[in-house]
Chains A and B, each alone.
Chain A
């Protein structure tokens, strides 16, 4: 910048303006002071309008975290809902069918009360409620896992029971010549008097295979009585079936048998007049009509499928 002059009225001359170091420093201090005041004023205004930078940063992070927590919350709620569905199906589907009492809500949420102390230290309700929910889910899961194991065990036991129930006809329909459906008192022309008839008579050709009506244990396999060659099978749960007048039996006392397994063959031994199977069902030591214990309309391919299953799976036991 070009030199500046000022007019000295005493000397009547233009004299150059000289900036002494002192003046220079003074000017700089003044400049800095004024800009500092400007900055400070700006800061004061800024602080009155906006939060501190760190606060802003914290808030941003907080918003981000809150969003993540929302997703965690929704996942927790979804898990809880799915679990509730499962519990519901457990209580109202499986437990009804398996004749078990549904679990009460206090049983389902076992141990929640004791654990609440752990989360009570947390100052933030969002975290506390989520932690509580997660804890609850964990406990409910534990209960449900136990319950599921229980259900499995009960079902296995039930299936064993169902498998042992006499449920099929001891002869294949295709071999059957005649089925006498007389149960109770019956007049026998050969004997000349009426005597109780405690089973059903299946007339079939000699050596037609006889099948076990359900899983069970052979408790009698012998000949020599009015039954002739006969096999008695104890099915447990109060059921016993008896197969009489066999030509021969191929099982032994104490043998475990499967439904559909061949026990022996149709014959004419004992108090019998012609080749037939005399079939009895006992429930709690009382003779009952065997007609209730098989479906007569079961078609032969289905029947043969069942027989095949019975004879192939014997080795498993």
Chain B
């Protein structure tokens, strides 16, 4: 707007000069022109400064990104290499396991565990039934379980009442594991028909084999008296072994020991250290062969291990103990 003098326009209809007044439309138009040109300048200048100026953070970022990308490639190749080697090692491990135990122990272990977890998942995610129906169903099955439990309870209370005179012998049961912290992976062979490590034939394995390093403390599974022990440097049979009489016709045997720390007829308390584990006698590896004998017959020691162990651990042991693998004799 060059001057503030009033401007006129010639109106051809009225044949008169009429003054031009301030109009918002005109003002808006010129504002738009200024702004759009301003915006163009803004974009141009921004691109220019981007091109001309390199800021420090930009430089640092660029460097870091470059390094990240470079080392990413290096690491990815290393990772594929490593995982390939790892895969090979894992198959080798499985082969070694199969050779050592004549059964893919780890595999079956894992599989049964995963099967178990799938079952648990299935419990939660049922096939899209309405919630109400599920609740009704659940209630029904709970009532069933409740009734069953009640019946069993009655049955048990009818048939199972502990006489006071029986209490001491019950307290003497070999109810703890013969080693501290018995882990499922250390239970290398369970009770039942197993493969003999020497001749590879199937035979009845009368106890459980717990793999232990030489010199691990072996504990008494229950109160009792040492009824027998013997030393043997013969590479066959039980080797150095201890037998403890818990009364009531129940004996426990601890074989392949390195050292015996008890004497004949010594009174033994549950959890007492009675010897150190080893590989004496007919053992292919250092381990404890643990037997429970009831009335002259071997029984599965796992069914007696109830103290100091939770249900999940016991289940793990039971799963591991059922694998028909090779024993350590």
Q: Which residues of A contact B (CB under 8 A)?
A: 2-7, 14, 17, 23, 27, 31-32, 34-40, 42-43, 46-47, 51-55, 58-59, 61-62, 65-66, 68-69, 72, 75-76, 79, 82-83, 86, 89-90, 92-94, 96-99, 122-124, 126-127, 130-131, 134, 137-138, 141, 144-145, 148, 151-152, 155, 158-159, 162-163, 165, 167-168, 214, 237-239, 259, 283, 288, 292-293, 295, 297-298, 302-303, 305-306, 309
Assembled-state Cα–Cα distance A214/B40 (Å)? 96
CB distance from B39 to the nearest CB of A (A): 7
* CB–CB B45/A40 < 8 A: yes
CB distance from B81 to the nearest CB of A (A): 8
Pick the contact of B89: A126, A144, A155 (CB < 8 A): A144
Contacts of B8 in A (CB 8 A): 4-7, 14
Contacts of A151 in B (CB 8 A): 96
Is B126's beta carbon under 8 Å from chain A?
no
Is B294's beta carbon under 8 Å from chain A?
no
Assembled-state Cα–Cα distance A98/B97 (Å)? 12
* CB–CB A55/B55 < 8 A: yes
* CB–CB B67/A259 < 8 A: no
* CB–CB A72/B34 < 8 A: no
B residues 42-96 with Cβ under 8 Å of A?
42-47, 49-50, 53-55, 57-58, 61-62, 64-65, 67-69, 71-72, 74-76, 78-79, 81-83, 85-86, 89-90, 92-93, 96
Pick the contact of B236: A122, A138, A288, A309 (CB < 8 A): A288
Pick the contact of B82: A39, A61, A98, A141 (CB < 8 A): A141
Q: How large is the interface on B (under 10, 10 to 19, 20 to 34, 35 or more residues)?
A: 35 or more
* CB–CB B35/A38 < 8 A: yes
* CB–CB B234/A39 < 8 A: no
Q: Knowing A98-B285, A134-B79, A302-B203 touch, does A292 contact B67 (C-beta < 8 A)?
A: no
* CB–CB B285/A97 < 8 A: yes
Assembled-state Cα–Cα distance A303/B78 (Å)? 52
Assembled-state Cα–Cα distance A309/B5 (Å)? 124
Binds A, one of B145-153, B193-201, B265-273: B193-201
Is B172's beta carbon under 8 Å from chain A?
no
* CB–CB B78/A134 < 8 A: yes
Pick the contact of A303: B93, B201, B287 (CB < 8 A): B201
Assembled-state Cα–Cα distance A288/B232 (Å)? 11
* CB–CB B85/A55 < 8 A: no
Is B286's beta carbon under 8 Å from chain A?
yes
CB distance from A240 to the nearest CB of B (A): 13
Pick the contact of A31: B10, B37, B64, B213 (CB < 8 A): B37
Contacts of A93 in B (CB 8 A): 185, 211
Q: Which residue of A lies closest to B11 (CB)?
A: A2
* CB–CB B196/A94 < 8 A: no
Pick the contact of A124: B44, B68, B83, B197 (CB < 8 A): B68
Q: List 23 A-B contacts (CB under 8 A).
A: A2-B9, A4-B7, A14-B8, A14-B10, A32-B37, A35-B33, A38-B38, A39-B38, A53-B47, A54-B50, A55-B55, A65-B65, A66-B68, A76-B79, A94-B96, A97-B100, A97-B286, A127-B71, A134-B78, A148-B92, A288-B236, A292-B237, A302-B202
